[in-house]
Amino acid sequence: MDANNSGRFKVWTPLLFSLVLIIGMILGFNLRDTLVNKRDIATIIQRNDRLEEIIDLIDQKYVDTVNTNLLYEDAVSGILEPLDPHTVYIPADNLQDVNEGLEGGFSGIGIEFSIRKDTIEVTSVVENGPSYRAGLTEGDKIIKVGDSIVAGTGITSEGIISLLRGKQKTEVAVTLQRIDDGATNEVSIVRDIIPLYSVDASFMVDGKTGYIKINRFSATTYDEFSKALKKLKKEGASQMILDLRDNPGGYLDAATSISDDFLNDDKLIVYTTGRNTPRFDYNAKKSGDFESGKLAILVDESSASASEILAGAIQDWDRGVIIGRRSYGKGLVQEQYEMPDGAALRLTIARYYTPSGRSIQRSFADGKEAYHADLENRYESGELTGAETFTIADTTRYYTANKRIVYGGGGITPDVYVPYDTTYWSSPVLKAAFSEEMRTAIWDYFIHNKTTLRYKNVSDFVKSFKGEGQVVDQYLAMLTPTKRQNVMKQFNEPTNKRYFKTQIKAQLARYLFRDNGYYSVKLKDDNVVNRALSVLNSSEYADILQPQPYTP
C-alpha cells in the first residue's frame, strides 16, 4: 500500500467505524421494538418445561390415578381465567363440534331423529341427501347401525350420532323397520356433507312484508340470506323483517356482507381495533339488494356479537328500526389459533365499534360469574317483562346519522321495546305443551294421517287444518288420571287452549313444510313480530327515525 493510500485509509477509518456503529445501533433499536412484546425463548421453554414437569410428577407420584389431559386443560383454563369471558380454550375432542356450526356442514347420513320408547325414529330426511337417496322416509325405525343394536338398549342421542357420522364417502350399514309395511331390511348409506342451514325460515308475512330468520352467522349465511332475499323480492316484498333473536353471532364477514345489502354508498359498517391490532374499517362496497324499503331488525337478550354488529350499523345509519329487547352486549373480536395437538385457542384480539363510535361490550370487571348472571339480573329487575328502562353502563352519548342519541357499554338498545309475552308463562302450561307425551301425540297423529295431510302450501294448511282436537284427545289419553285432571284445568282457560292448539299446528307444519311451516304458524302469536308489523305499516316508522335536534 503506498503512502497516499495509507493516509486516506487512516482518515476514513474512524468515519467507517462510526458508520458501522450507527447502523448497528439502529438495527438494535429496531430489533428491540420488534421483540418488545415477545418473551425470551429460554423463558418460554423453561415455563413450558415447568408445567410439563409438574404434570409428569403428578402422573408418576400422586396417590390416586389422574387424567393428565384434564390436568393440562385445567392449567390452561387457569391461565385464561383473568382474561375476558370470551377467550376460551377448546380441547381437541370438542373442536369439530364447535366448528361445524360455523363452517355450515358436517359429514353424516342426513336425517333428523327422535328417541321414543327406547327406539330411534326418523323424523325428517334431508332432501337429496344420503338417506334420501337410500330410500329412508319419516317414521322408519333404526334397529342396528353396522353390528351395533341400537333399539331397546338405552342408547342416547350422542351415542347414535357418533355411530351415524363419519368421514365423507364412507359407507354405513343401517337396519331399518319400515313405516309402510313393518318389514326389516338393511340399507347401505354413503355418508356425505350435510348442510347446516343458518337461515331458518324465509317467507311472506303479508302481501308486502318479507320475513327472514337467521340463527347464526356461518360461512354459508350470506349466500343463504341473499338467495332468500331475492326470492322474497320476486314475491313482492317491499319491506322486510330480519329476525336475529337468539342469534349468538359467528363470522363477522357474514354480518358485514348482509349489512352491505341494506346500506348504500361506502358507509362504515363497523371497525375493529385492539392493543396489538390496528384499526380496520368495514365499509359497504357494493350496490345492495335492499338499500331502500322499510326495515325492522328483531333482537333480544340472546342476540350477540355479529348480530349486534348488523343491528348497530342499521341503527347508527337510521336505515331501519330495531325492535325487541336489549341485546346481549358482546363487542369483542376473537381469532382462533390451532394447537399442535388439535385443540384451539379463541383469543380476544380487538374490540369492535359501531359507526357512531360506540362499543357495546358489557363490563366483565366483576368477574365471569357476574358477567354470565346478567340474563338473570335482567329478569329479576323486570327489564325482560315490562320495564323499559335499565341502568346505562356507559353514559357517553353517541349520535346516529339523524342525531338520535344512542349509548354503548351494554348491548344494542332497541328503538321499540317489546317485553316477553308472559301470557303463557304458567309452568303447567309450558310443561304440558312441550312434554314428551305431547310430542308423541303430535308425531303419532302425523304418522297415522300422513297420506291424508295433503296441502298445497303452508297458507292452505293454516286455513284448512282442523285436527288439533284429535291430537289433544290422544295426548290426554296418555296421561294418568291425576295429571289429566290438572291439564284439563289449564284447558279451561281460553288463552291456554289457544296456545296448545297453536303449538300443535306449528309442530305439524314443521313435519309437512319444515321450518318455514313452523314459523309461519308460530309467528301469528308472536308479539314482537306483530309489533314490527304495526310499526312498518304506520307512520310510527318515520316518526322513530326522524332527525333529532343536536344536543351535545
What is d(CA 324, CA 529) in angstroms, rounded to the nearest whole number? 9
pLDDT, residue 552, reads 67
Burial class (CB in 10 A: 0-12, 13-18, 19+), 440: middle
E-assigned strand segments in 12-104: 88-90
pLDDT, residue 48, reads 59
**Ranges of the chain with pLDDT below 50:** 1, 3-6, 8-9, 11-12, 15-16, 19-45
pLDDT, residue 497, reads 86
Task: Judge whether 405 and 548 are in contact, CB under 8 Å.
Answer: yes
DSSP 422: G
C-alpha cell at 195: 348442510
Task: Judge whether 218 and 101 are in contact, CB under 8 Å.
Answer: yes
pLDDT, residue 358, reads 96
pLDDT, residue 423, reads 77
To the nearest 10°, the Cα dihedral for 10, 13, 14, 15?
Answer: 120
Please give the full DSSP string across 403-421, using - where no structure is assigned.
--EE--SS-PPPSEE----
Report pTM: 0.86
- Fold for the domain defined by 105-195: Pdz3 Domain (2.30.42)
Burial class (CB in 10 A: 0-12, 13-18, 19+), 284: buried
| Structural domain boundaries in the chain | 1-38, 41-82, 105-195, 200-420, 424-534
Q: How many helices (H) and strands (E) does the chain have?
A: 19, 21
β-partners of residue 405 are: 399
What is d(CA 468, CA 489) in angstroms, rounded to the nearest whole number? 18
pLDDT in tens, 179-200: 888 899 999 999 999 988 999 9
CA distances from 303 to 37, 118, 325, 351 (A): 35, 36, 9, 17
pLDDT, residue 30, reads 44
pLDDT, residue 47, reads 53
What is d(CA 484, CA 495) in angstroms, rounded to the nearest whole number? 18
- Which CATH class, in words, describes the domain spanning 200-420? alpha beta
Burial class (CB in 10 A: 0-12, 13-18, 19+), 263: buried
pLDDT in tens, 384-412: 988 767 778 788 899 999 999 999 988 99
